[in-house]
Structure 1
Amino acid sequence: MVETTQQRVEQRQPEPLGDWRRYFSFCVDHKVIGIQYLVTTFFFYLLGGALAMVIRAELMTPGAELDRSLYNGVFTIHATIMIFLWIIPTLAGFGNFLVPLMIGARDMAFPRLNALSFWMIPPGGLLLLSSFFVQSGAAGAGWTSYPPLSTQQVQVGDLLVTNFGQVIWIASVVFLGTSSILAALNFIVTIVAMRTEGMELFRMPLFCWATLTASCITLLGTPVLAGAVILLAFDLLLGTVFFNPTGGGDPVVYQHMFWFYSHPAVYIMVLPAMGIISEVLPVFSRKPIFGYKAIAISSMGIAVLGFLVWAHHMFTSGTPDWLRMFFMVTSFLIAVPTGIKVFSWLGTIWGGKLELSSAMLFAMGFVSMFVVGGLSGIMLASVPVDIHVHDTYFVVAHLHYVLFGGSVFAIYAGLYYWFPKMTGRLLNETWGKIHFALTFIGFNLCFLPMHQLGLQGMPRRVAEYAEQFQSLNVLVSIGGFLLGISTLPFLFNAIYSWLWGPKAPANPWRALTLEWTTASPPPVENFEYLPVVTAGPYEYGTVGSSPEGNTPTAISQPKS
C-alpha cells in the first residue's frame, strides 16, 4: 500500500500552485476547490447583502416606496442567497480545504465528485438571480415558500399567469441541494475511511467532528426538502393538488416536510461554525480545549435532537396541544448539548494566555452572539411566547443572532485564522480589528432593537408598517448600513494581502493540528509522506518542552 501511494505521487505531474487558471477550471485538487467555494460564495454574500440594504432602505419610512411584488422578491431572494449560496457552501469550502489536511489524507475520497459539487453552485446561483428578469417576477413567498401563497398565479397586465419566478426558485434550490448532498457524501467517506495512521476518532480535530455531523444531517434531511419543493412544482406546473385543500391536499404537509429539513439545516450551518471556533480558541488561549470528548459527542447529540424539534415552527399551524408539548420539550432539550459547547469554550478561555488577534476576536464575538440567539431560541420554544411573537420581528432578530452571529462571525474567524495557510500571506491585523469593531457594532445596532419591535407587534415581511415603529426601524437600518460597510475593510485587507501581504511561515500561530505541518500554501499532494499521528490536536502545554509552543501532533514519515 505504501509503494502504491508513493508511485502515484511520483507519477502525478505537479501542478503550479500559483497558476490562477486552476481556479477557473474543473480542478480536482481539494484545496483549489475549497478556495473556489470561498471566493464564489463571498460574491453571493455581497449580492445578498446589497439586497438587505435595499430592504433596510425601504423600511426607513412607514410607507411603501418599492412595488410590493418587487419588495417580496427582494427579501425572498436575499434570504435564499444567504442560506443556500453563502453560509452552507462557505462552510463546505472550509471543509474542502481543511478536512483532508486535518486527517492526513492526500485529497477527498471522490475528487471529481468534489469538483462537480462546486460547479453546481455558480449556475444554481445565477438561475436564482435570473428570476428577477422573468415576466412574472422573482419568487415572493419568502424563503419558506409556503403554499397556497407560493402556488398562486400572479397578475401580469390583465392576465393571471403561472408564477415562473417561483418555479425558478424551486429549480435553484434543487440544484443547490444536490450539490450539498454530493459534498456531504464525500465528507463522510473521507473522514470515515481516509484518516492517516494514528488518527483515531477521538484524535480528530473538532472541526472534522462538526463537518462529519453536519454532513450526516445534510444526507438525511436535504432529500426531504427536495421532495417538498418538487411536489410544489408539480402543483404549480401540472395542476396536481398535493398542497391544495380544495382538491384533497394539505398545505400543512408542506410545512412538515420543509421544517423537517430546515430546522436541522440550522445545524448544517452552525455545527461547522462551532467546529471553527473549537479550532481557534485553544490556539489563541494556548490551552488544551476544555472537554474535547464532550464537545465531539454533543455534536452528535445536536444532530439527533435536531430532527426532533421541527414542529416548533408550526405551533400556530393547528398543531394539537399534545404535539406542541412534545416539541416544546425537545426544543428545550437541544439547549443542553449546545450549552456543553459554550461552557467548554469558556473553560478553554478561562486562565489562558489570550492573544486577541482578529481571529480570536471574531471567535469570542461568535460565542457571545450565539448565546443571545440561543436564549431567544429558548423563549421561542415556549408555546405561549411563540404564539405571541410568531411572524414578528422578534423571530427575525432570533434568526439573525443564530445564523449571522452564529455562522458569519465564525466564518470570519476561520478566514483570518486559515488565510495564511490558504494563500501563503498574512492578513493585516489592524484592518482585521477595524473590521471586527464595525461588524460587532453594526450587527448589534441592527438586530438587537428588532427584539423590541417584535414584542411590540411589528410583523415581519412587510414593506408598510405603523408609524409608531419608525424610530426603531431607522435605528435598525443605520445598523444594517454600518454592517454592510464593515465588509469593505475585509475586502481591502484580503485582496491587498493576497497580492502583496507579508509571506506567512508554515505555522504562524504555533498550532498543533496537521494542516499546520505543511507549507503555506500546501503542496499539491499535501504531505511528502503521509503523517503518523502521535498525540491529540490541542495538547498545548502538555507536549514538548518549548515554553513558547509545542511539538506537532504528528511526525511526517513514511508508514512502516
Structure 2
Amino acid sequence: MKALRLHREFEAIWRAPAGWRGTISSVNHSDIGRRLIIAAFVFFAIGGVLAMLIRAQLATPRSAFVGPEIYNQLFTMHGSIMMFLFAIPMFEGLAIYMLPKLLGARDLAFPRLSAYGWWCYLFGASLLILSMLLGVAPDSGWFMYTPLSSRPYSPGINSDFWLLGITFVEISAIAAAVDITVSILRVRAPSMSLDQLPLFAWYLLATALMMLLGFPPLILGSILLEIERAFDWPFFDVTRGGDSLLWQHLFWLFGHPEVYIIFLPAAGVVSTVLPVMARTPILGYRIIVAAVLSLAFLSFGLWVHHMFTVGIPHMALAFFSAASTLVAVPTGVQIFAWLGTLWAGRPQMKLPMLYLVGFFVTFVMGGLTGVMVAVVPFDWQVHDTAFVTAHLHYVLVGGFVFPMLAGAYYWLPHFTGRQRTFRLGELAFWLIFIGFHATFFLMHLAGLLGQPRRVESYPEAAGWTWINLISSVGGFVMAIGFALFAIDMALQLFLSRRSPRNPWQAGTLEWAMMTPPASYNIASLPHVRSREPAYDEPDLANALARGEGYLGTPRHSWRETLSVDLKGRIQHIIVLPGNTRLPIVTAVVTGCFFVALLLKIYWVAPFALAGVAALGWRWAWALGRQKDLGALPIGRGEHAPTHAEVDDPPGWLGSVFLLLADSTLFGSLLFGQAFLLTVAPGWPPPAIFDGSWLVILLAGAAASAAVFLPRQAGAVVEQAIWGHLLLVLTLAASQWMAPVPTGHAAAALIGVLNGYGLFHAAVALLMLFFVRARRRAGFLSAARRGEVRIALLWSDYAAATGVIVALSSQLPALLR
C-alpha cells in the first residue's frame, strides 16, 4: 500500500499533462529520449529510401533512372541523414532515456536543455527534409568540399540548407553532450563511485566529451562557409588568401572523431548486453575503460587519414598513417575482452545475441579494411573509389546498426513492459545480415577494379555491371529486413503480452524499477554497493518502491534527485525544473534566426538573437529561491543542502563543459588563421593595417585585463560589468576600423575574431547584469552565490579570449 501511495504522489509531481499541451511542455528525460529514438528511426527510413534510389540508379550501366543533378542530391542527403539525423540522435535518444535509470537517478541534470535540444533537432532536421521536398536539396556531398560548395560553383540555395540546417542540428548535439557529461559526473545514486559506473555510462561519457571537442570545428567551418557564400568573405578562395584545404581540415577534425562518436555508444551496448547473454560478468572492466578513453584520445589524431591524396608532406603522411594503425589497438582490446566474456560464460543464442554475432562478423571485416586504407600507398590507389564506400558502411552499419538492433530487442521489455510474442525478429536479422553483405562485400572488388564513388553512371565495358546488380539486389533484401524489424517492433508494442520486470536477470539498475518506467523512475534512490546492484540485492526493486532509499518522501511538489562527487559521496539535492514551454519557444526563436539567414532576410536575425537572449533571461530567472533553507533530510538519517546553496551547482559544471566546446571552436578559428598564414598563397597579406589598429587593439587587451584586476568582495560584479562595457565598445570600434573583409582572408578572419570577442563580451555582460538584478531581487545571499560564480566564469572566459582576439588580430601585420 505504501508503494502505491508513493507512486501516486510522485506521479502527480513528475507526469506531463495529457494531450498536446503535455507534448510541447514535457521535459521528462523518458519522453525526450523516446521521441529522439522514434524520430531518428523515421529519418533512418528516409535515408534508406534514398539509398534504394541510389542502388536502382547503379544497378545497370548508363541508367536513366535519375539524372546527375538528382543523383547528387540523393547521395548528399543520404549521407547527411544517416550521419547527422540518424546515428548521433539515435545514440542521444538512448542515452537520454537510459542514463538516469542506469545511474539510479530520477532525471538528467538539465531537463529543459534536453528538451531544447530535441526541438532544435526536430526543426533543423525538418529544414533539411523540406529542401528535398522543394527540389533544392544539398548536392555538394555530405562533406561539402570547397570550392564545389562555394557560391561560384553552387550558386543556388542548396548548400545553404545544409550549412544552416546542420548547424541548427549541431546545437542539439552540444546540448545533449553537456547534459550527458554533467549527469554522469554528478547525478548518480549515492555511493556509486566512478569505479562502479555501468560500462555503458563510461562509453557515453567518453562519447559526450568527444562531441564537445569534435563538433565545434564543423560548426566553425559551416559558419565560415556560410559567411563566404552570403557576404563574400574569402576564407576558402585561393585568389584572395584563402585555401579550400582549410575546409577539409575543419571538416575532418570533426569527421574522423565522428566515426568513433558513432561507434562508442554502440560498443557500450555490446558491453552491456553481451555479459547478460553470456550469463557472466564482463571480463576486464578496468581494461575496457582504459581502452575506451584511449580510443577517444587517439581519434583526434587521425583527421588527415582522409587527406592522404591532397599533397601533404611525407613526414605528416607517416605520422597520421601510424596513428591510424595504432587506433586499432584499443578497439582490439575491447573485442578480445568481449570474446573472453563469451568464452568464460554460457552464451544464449537469443535474438539480441544474434545481432551481436552479426556485429562481430561485420565490424571486424570493416576494421581490417580500415587498417588497409591507413597504409598510404594503398589509400592512394583506392581513394574515392567504391572500396572506401564499402569500408565506411562495414564500419558504421557493423559498428552501430547491429549493436543498436541488439539493444532494441534487449531493452524492449523495459521500454514497453511487454515481451516478444511474434518471431519476425529472426527473419528480419537474416535478411538484414545477408542483404548487407550482398550489397557491400562486392563493392570492395568494384573499387579495386576502379569504380569511382559519387558517380551516377558507368560504361558497360568497365566490367562492373554484375557487381552493381548483385549489390542492388542485396540492398533491396536488406531494406525488406529493416521493414520486417519495424513491423516486429510495432507488433511487440501493441499486441504482445506483459513481460516480467527483469526478463534477462540483468544486474544494472534500470531493471530495479517498474517496466515501463514511471515518470519519476524510482520512488527512492538506492545506496549502491556494487556494479550489479539489481543482481546482488534481489529485493532492491521492492525496497526502493516502498521508499526505503534516499528522497523517498515527496515534499513541496519538488522534482528532486541527488548530486554526488566522483567517489559517490552526497553533495547536495538538485531541485529540477518542472514542465514548461520555454524549450520549444526558445527553439522556435532560434529557428527564426537560421531561417532568416537562409532566406537572406538578414535584418530579422538580430531580432531573433535578442529574442533568444530575452528567453534565456526568463529561463534562468525561473530558478532559485529568495530564502536560505539549510540542510534538508534526504532519508537514511542524512541531510544535504539544495543546489541553490552550494558554490558549484550543476549549472557551474555545465558552463565549464559548454565553455570547453566554445574554446574548441575558438581554437579551431586560431588554427585556421595559423594554417592560412603558413600554407595559403598571398600571406603575409598586403599592408592593410594602419597605426590606429595598434592603439585600438591595445585598448582591447587592457579592457579585457581590467576584468582580472584584484577583486573586492561585493564589488566584483560591478567591476566586471565596467570592464566588459569597455571591452564591447573597444571590439565594436575595432570592427568598425577593420579593413574591408572581402579583400583578403586575413581581413575576413579579423572580422570573425572581432565578432567572436564581441559576442562573448556581450553574453558575459548580459549575465553580469542578470546577477545584479537577481541580487537586488533577493535571490542571492552568502549561501546562495552559485549564480555569481557562473557569471564570473563566463566573464573571465570572455576577457581572456578578448586578450587573445586583440593579439591575433594584429598578428598578420606583425609578421608582414
Instruction: Give the TM-score taking structure 2 as reference length.
Output: 0.64
Alignment partners' CA distance in 2, 1:187 and 1:92: 9
CA drift of 1:352 comes to 2.0
Residue 435 in structure 1 maps to residue 428 in structure 2: yes
Read off the aligned partner of 1:89 and give its amino acid letter: P
- 1-side partners of 2:250 and 2:359: how far apart? 30
SS in structure 2 of the partner of residue 486 of structure 1: helix
Tell me which residue corresponds to 1:501.
496
Q: How far apart are residue 22 of structure 1 and its match?
A: 7.8
Q: Which of 449, 459, 470 is the aligned partner of 2:465?
A: 470
Q: Distance in 1 between matches of 2:519 and 2:238?
A: 57
Give how far 1:397 is off. 0.6
Q: Deviations over 1:438-491 (max 9, x none)?
A: 111011111111111111111000111132111000000011111111112111
Aligned to 1:558: 549
- In the alignment, the residues of structure 2 paired with residue 429 and residue 533 of structure 1 have an alpha-carbon distance, to the nearest angstrom, of 37
- Measured at CA, do residues 494 and 19 of structure 1 come closer, stay the same or move farther in structure 2, by a change above 3 Å? farther
Q: Alignment partner of 2:301: what SS?
A: coil
| 3-state SS, counterpart of residue 13 of structure 1 | helix
Deviations, residues 67-86 of structure 1 (Å, cap 9, x unaligned): 21110001100110001111
Identify the match of residue 482 of structure 1 among 467, 477, 480: 477
Which residue of the partner structure matches residue 759 of structure 2?
none
Distance 1:9 1:320 in 2: 67
Alignment of 1:233-382 (within 5 A): 233-382=226-375
Query: Structure 2 CA distance, aligned partners of 1:343 and 1:537?
Result: 22
Contact kept? 1:533, 1:554, Cα under 8 Å: no
CA apart distance, 1:431: 1.2
Moved over 6 A (4+): 6-9, 550-555
Partner residue in 1 for 2:507: 512
**Alignment of structure 1 residues 80-479 onto 2, 5 Å:** 80-134=80-134, 137-153=136-152, 162-428=155-421, 430-467=423-460, 468-479=463-474
Q: 1: CA distance between counterparts of 2:176 and 2:398?
A: 25
- Give the letter aligned to residue 222 of structure 2: V
Secondary structure of the corresponding residue to residue 51 of structure 1: helix
| Deviation for aligned residue 1:366 | 1.2
1:134 Cα deviation after fit: 4.8
Q: Does 2:35 correspond to 1:13?
A: no
Pairwise CA RMSD: 2.2
Q: Say which is worse superposed, 345-354 or 389-398, in terms of deviation.
A: 345-354
Partners of 1:534 and 1:555 within 8 A in 2? no
Is the partner of 1:307 in helix, strand or coil?
Answer: helix
How far apart, in 2, do the equivalents of 1:23 and 1:13 lie? 13
Q: Residues 11 and 471 from structure 1, CA distance in 2 versus in 1: closer, same or farther, beyond 3 angstroms? A: closer
Once the 2 structures are TM-superposed, how far is the Cα of residue 230 of structure 1 from its aligned partner? 1.1
Matched, 1:40 2:33: no
Letter of the structure 2 residue corresponding to residue 72 of structure 1: N
* Larger deviation, residues 260-269 vs 122-131: 122-131
Amino acid paired to 2:301: L
Encode CA deviations 1:79-112: one digit per residue, 9 max, x unaligned. 1000111111001111011111101111000001
Query: 1:157: which partner in 2?
Result: none
Distance 2:475 2:486 in 1: 18
SS of the aligned residue for 1:262 comes to: helix
Q: Which amino acid aligns with 1:490?
A: F
User: Shift in Å at residue 162 of structure 1?
Assistant: 2.3
Q: Deviations over 1:379-417 (max 9, x none)?
A: 111101111100001100110011111101111111101
Other structure's SS at 2:505 match = coil
Distance 1:411 1:558, change over 3 A: same
Matched-pair contact (CA < 8 Å) for 2:180–2:208:
yes
Change (3 A) 1:393 1:72: same
The CA deviation at 1:430 is 1.9
Q: Does 1:27 align with 2:26?
A: yes
What is the alpha-carbon distance in structure 2 between the residues aligned to residue 234 and residue 44 of structure 1?
29
1:104 maps to a residue whose letter is G
Instruction: Give the TM-score normalised by structure 1.
Output: 0.93
SS at match of 1:216: helix
What is the match of residue 727 of structure 2? none
Q: In the alignment, residue 558 of structure 1 is paired with which amino acid?
A: G
Question: Any conservation in 2 of the 1:23–1:36 contact (CA below 8 Å)?
Answer: no
Of stretches 62-71 and 268-277 in structure 1, the one that deviates more from structure 2 is 62-71
Contact 1:512 1:552 (C-alpha < 8 Å) held by counterparts:
no
The residue type equivalent to 2:48 in the other structure is: G
Question: How much does 1:355 deviate?
Answer: 1.3
Q: Deviations over 1:289-309 (max 9, x none)?
A: 011111112111111101001
Report the counterpart of residue 52 of structure 1 in structure 2: 51
User: Aligned partner of 2:272: which letter?
Assistant: E
Q: Which whole-Å CA distance do the structure 1 matches of 2:446 and 2:420 have between them?
A: 39
Amino acid at match of 1:55: I
Corresponding residue number in structure 2 for 1:158 = none
- With over 3 angstroms needed to count, the CA separation of the structure-2 counterparts of 1:39 and 1:347, relative to structure 1, is same
SS at match of 2:25: coil
- Give the conservation status (yes or no) of the 8 Å contact 1:446–1:476: yes
Q: Are the counterparts in 2 of residues 432 and 493 from structure 1 also a CA contact under 8 Å?
A: yes
Contact 2:16/2:22 (<8 A) preserved: no
Are the aligned partners of 2:506 and 2:534 in contact in 1 as well (CA < 8 Å)? no
Partners of 1:536 and 1:553 within 8 A in 2:
no
Shift of 1:539: 10
Amino acid at match of 2:488: N
Tell me the number of residue pairs that the alignment of Structure 1 and Structure 2 aligns.
541
* C-alpha distance in structure 1 between counterparts of 2:476 and 2:141, whole Å: 22
Inter-CA distance 17–447: structure 2 relative to 1 (3 Å threshold): farther
Which secondary structure state, in structure 2, belongs to the residue aligned with residue 240 of structure 1? coil
Deviation at 1:198, TM superposition (A): 2.1
Encode CA deviations 1:260-288: one digit per residue, 9 max, x unaligned.
Answer: 01100111110000000111100011011
User: 3-state SS of the aligned residue for 1:34?
Assistant: helix
The alpha-carbon distance between structure 1 residues 370 and 26, as it changes in their structure 2 partners (threshold 3 A), is farther
Instruction: Give secondary structure in 1 for the equivalent of 2:527.
Output: strand
- The amino acid of 1:524's aligned partner reads S
Displacement of 1:16 in angstroms is 5.9
Distance of aligned partners of 1:16 and 1:114 in 2 relative to their CA distance in 1, 3 Å threshold: closer
Q: CA deviation at 1:364?
A: 2.0
Q: 2:631 aligns to what?
A: none
Q: Give the letter aligned to residue 317 of structure 1.
A: V
Equivalent-residue separation in structure 2 for 1:337 and 1:347 (angstroms)? 15
Q: In the aligned structure 2, how far is the partner of 1:140 from the partner of 1:88?
A: 22
1:35 maps to a residue whose letter is R
